Amino acid sequence: MSPSGRALFHGYLDTKVPKDGRNKRAGYCSMRSKRVRKSFKRESTYNWHIYNTMVIKVRGDGRSYLLNISCEGYYDVTWNDIYHYVLFTRGGPYWQVAKIPFSKFVLGSKGRLQDKQTRIKLDRVTHFGISCGDKA
């Protein structure tokens, strides 16, 4: 969090090639929110069911970013399900406001899109995250 109480996603990109010439685990960065908790550190969820759109104000660098929403799974098969949306940003010093309907998010599990798409359980959201993975 920035001193003004807003989320700030920034860093430095090192473009030097490693001495051994191997690029492993390169070109990827991510952040996600903490799990919301009740008293006595009991796990809880965000309840976004009264909303139908996510509004996000970003100042991008021309790359595409992946917005991720995780929901609480009932079975171990669904614990890794994440809903994704690709956000294309403009480069430069200008801010952009993106209004994204939750219906535009697609279901993926362990990095793979699923054939059977389901709605986001907006009353059971556990995490929100942003990823960049352009391998550059």
Report yes or no: 102 and 52 within 8 Å, Cβ to Cβ.
yes
pLDDT in tens, 5-47: 777 777 766 667 777 877 766 667 888 888 889 999 999 999 9
Report yes or no: 75 and 126 within 8 Å, Cβ to Cβ.
no
pLDDT in tens, 75-131: 766 777 899 999 999 887 889 999 999 999 999 988 788 899 999 999 999 999 998
pTM (predicted TM-score) = 0.80
Closest CA to 11 of 26, 30, 33: 30
- Residue 77 is predicted with a pLDDT of 67
Instruction: Label residue 53 by pLDDT band (50, 70, 90).
Output: very high
